[in-house]
Structure 1
Amino acid sequence: MKRTILIITACLASFGPLRAQESIDEVLLLVEQASKELQAQRKLTEAQKLEAKTGNSLENPSVEFENLWRRPVPGNNSELTVTQPFDFPGAYAARNKIAKLKASLYDSEGAEFRQQLLLQAKELCIEIIYLRQQQILLGERLSNAQRLSSVYKQKLETGAANILETNKISVELIAAQTAANLNATTLKARLQQLSNLAGGEPVNFTATDYPAESELPEYATLETLYMEQSPELQRLADEHSVNLKTITLNKALALPKFEVGYRHNYGLEGRFNGLLVGMSIPMFENKNKVKAARAQSYFSDTKLQSAKLNSVTILKQLYEQAQTLRQSAESLQAVLRNQNNIELLNKALDAGQISVIEYFTEVSTLYQSRETLLQLEKDYRTATAQIYRYEL
């Protein structure tokens, strides 16, 4: 999945950022391609992985030169010493393994950051579609209120309507206009937020309908995929592996260090060459480091197990929430099919079959039900986006 996204991203790069993004997937590809935050995260990961590879080389060699002289009898004695210290061999193997584990850890951190950013972008796309659908509904409500206002102003002039009815319609017109303006403002703000996620590039996201989505699979199937592909859990597992290997490293560092070298001495008695071999016993500097590493390993393992439990709990809640929202939306859709629509209510009002108060009671209920349906569909899509976050 991720490899496919990268391939498509490379193809889209040739079309430029101004191309219309008609689907949520296209927006996510643009965000992944243009996000400044993702670019910075990739550089950070690269730097961290390079840093993890350092620190496993031999220490710098040491070169010493001594020149001794004596008085009053002429003569001097000089000595050149070159030494190379090194840790117990097991320490280098442990550091090399830790460097590889840290590289995996930093990759997991980058994948987690990427997933969170793309999920945020997807949730914004869902909200934008919801706001556009809401704008259509509010536009219909505003248009209807404007028509009624025009009609009843004429009726008031001819005496066919009273001032109370006209004022009621005027209040509805103001409320409809305000709701439409606020929704348009919110929509504009969400589009700007989406552009910010794409590194400030214009995001020409034109969708007004949600993409087709199949029914949720069995929970057990989702849980397996969710847990196996969670970058958060992978990061915590990598962190625990690093801490485990750190125990091995600290045990190796508690063993003696060695030093080998070459000595060259020359003076009045002639020249002398020889080898230097030394050993350092770390009796004090590594005290309690193994215990500290074990404690850190226990902590990271506990954190990993806790995160797994929390992930399962969150997934169950999202799954049940999504099912409830879907059932509620389907039930409300069925009810709305049987409700009187606005056109029939307008005809009844114009014919004098119902009063203005009765009209607005029915209309308010109908609009509220339709707004509730839009909210249910949006919440359902948001819940499923969080469920399927492992696909990002």
Structure 2
Amino acid sequence: MRSMLLTVALVATALTGVYANDFENALNILVSNNLESKAAIKRGVSEVETMRAENVLPGPEAEFSRVWGTNAEAGNKLGVSVSQGFDWPGLYAARKRAADTAESALEFLRASSMLDTRRDARVLLIDYIHNQQLICHQSRYAARLDSMESYYKRAAEEGLETRIDYNKTVIERIGVHRELHQLERDRDALLVRLQAFNGGAPIDEVVRLAGDEYPAIDKGKLAGTLSLIEERDPGYAAARLQTEVARQNLKVAKMSGLPGFSVGYEHESEGGERFNGFSVGISLPSWSRKHASKAAVVDAELALLDAEIMLRQRKADFEEDLVQLDYYEQSLAEYAPIVSDMAPLELLRKALVARQITLLNYMNEYNYFVQANREYLDLMYEYQLAAARLNYYE
């Protein structure tokens, strides 16, 4: 009975106010230590630096030649040359614009990755809290059955109760403890996941801060989430910038089809005479550039589609969670007066003591209320998960 009252108190706390500071502190620790988000950022930086590395002049070329004459009168000929090649001049500016835009997109991707990591950490902490509440609930039920088993064992030995009733309590106690042990194994698995998410660092402080109570929710903020997507979603902003990057890359691909040039200095020596001069060269584009341009066109179209798909999917997910949030809230409101009413359980206890009902009837009826309490906890868990996803921009 205490378990049910405790559950109602926890849920009532979780439906109003703002997120608890301890929960946010636990969340911040997980996010700061997470390795996946750091790796994603590094990969983005590497891609931008690769683009910038392509936008440099090739190294100068130096050549030395010595040609032998067919006879002594012809003599030998020496030559030295240094040349520098370069692409069509406008190509460098186009590449720089593409790299700059990609770097801007990277900043938004970094922010988006951080929000994704915070959401995943928030969900993981909620999983842990849900497990803790289930363990608390099941432990109290197990303790009650332990007490009943002890009573029926003594009573059976004294002839006050039947051996059958005692065996029933043993069977029921075994089942309840098996479920409790499974919940404890689930907790151990969650702790492993938490430590992995925390970059392998100890999670004692994270677990202490998370506790066993859900963070409170400001539903007013959640209701306005849909209106924030285009304005505040860094993933969508990054997708739009990736569209611009694709357009810039299309310009780069087209300009790459223009000729390249080289300018050089030449020095030759022949028969005691010395010659100085310069050379100018031109490199003609290959036919493969045509396919590169077509690929860039497709990439630009895909980037635009990806941005729109991302926006629509984000809106659909938030709309679904808002609908579910209302459903869970309504269901919780319907359950609350039932699971908080201890009178039926007290009546069951009195009826059992007065032998108005059998032990089996008592257990069946008691389990009915226990199961209702478990469903209430599960509904609250789903409510918190939906709220965590809607709380994406916080």
TM-score by length of structure 2 reads: 0.86
Give the aligned partner of residue 297 of structure 1: 300
Does the 8 Å CA contact 1:64/1:80 hold for their aligned counterparts? yes
Q: Deviations over 1:214-253 (max 9, x none)?
A: 224474x311323443343334323322211111111211
Does the 8 Å CA contact 1:126/1:382 hold for their aligned counterparts? yes
Alpha-carbon separation, structure 1, partners of 2:197 and 2:79: 66
Alpha-carbon separation, structure 2, partners of 1:93 and 1:115: 33
Does the 8 Å CA contact 1:52/1:103 hold for their aligned counterparts? no
Task: Describe how 1:38-117 pairs up with structure 2 within 5 A.
Answer: 38-74=37-73, 75-117=75-117
Alpha-carbon separation, structure 2, partners of 1:380 and 1:218: 12
Report the more deviating stretch, 227-236 or 353-362: 227-236
Does the 8 Å CA contact 1:65/1:79 hold for their aligned counterparts? yes
233 and 22 in structure 1: CA distance in 2 versus 1, 3 angstrom threshold = closer
Residue type at the aligned position of 1:70? G
Q: State the shift of 1:190 in Å.
A: 0.8
Report the more deviating stretch, 326-335 or 76-85: 76-85
Q: State the shift of 1:54 in Å.
A: 0.8
Identify which of structures 1 and 2 has the higher relative contact order when contacts are C-alpha pairs closer than 8 Å and 6+ apart.
Answer: 2
Show structure 2 runs of 5+ residues with no match: 1-19
Alpha-carbon separation, structure 2, partners of 1:201 and 1:293: 44
Q: Segments of 4+ in structure 1 off by > 6 A?
A: none
RMSD (Å), alpha carbons: 2.3
Does the 8 Å CA contact 2:108/2:238 hold for their aligned counterparts? yes
Task: Describe how 1:1-392 pairs up with structure 2 within 5 A.
Answer: 23-74=22-73, 75-204=75-204, 205-206=207-208, 207-217=211-221, 219=223, 221-268=224-271, 270-338=273-341, 340=343, 342-391=345-394
Q: State the shift of 1:256 in Å.
A: 1.9
Does the 8 Å CA contact 2:27/2:122 hold for their aligned counterparts? yes
Residue type at the aligned position of 2:30? V
Report the more deviating stretch, 27-36 or 83-92: 27-36
381 and 178 in structure 1: CA distance in 2 versus 1, 3 angstrom threshold = same
Q: What SS does the corresponding residue of 1:287 show, helix, strand or coil?
A: helix
Residue type at the aligned position of 1:156? A
Q: State the shift of 1:343 in Å.
A: 4.2
Does the 8 Å CA contact 1:102/1:242 hold for their aligned counterparts? yes
Does the 8 Å CA contact 2:222/2:387 hold for their aligned counterparts? no
22 and 247 in structure 1: CA distance in 2 versus 1, 3 angstrom threshold = closer
Q: What SS does the corresponding residue of 2:29 show, helix, strand or coil?
A: helix
Q: State the shift of 1:91 in Å.
A: 0.6
Q: State the shift of 1:339 in Å.
A: 5.4
Does the 8 Å CA contact 1:48/1:106 hold for their aligned counterparts? no
Q: State the shift of 1:86 in Å.
A: 0.8
Q: Deviations over 1:82-129 (max 9, x none)?
A: 211111111101111122223234444444444333322221211111
TM-score by length of structure 1 reads: 0.86
Q: What SS does the corresponding residue of 2:243 show, helix, strand or coil?
A: helix
Aligned positions, number: 370
Does the 8 Å CA contact 1:325/1:380 hold for their aligned counterparts? yes
Report the more deviating stretch, 100-109 or 250-259: 100-109
Give the aligned partner of residue 6 of structure 1: none
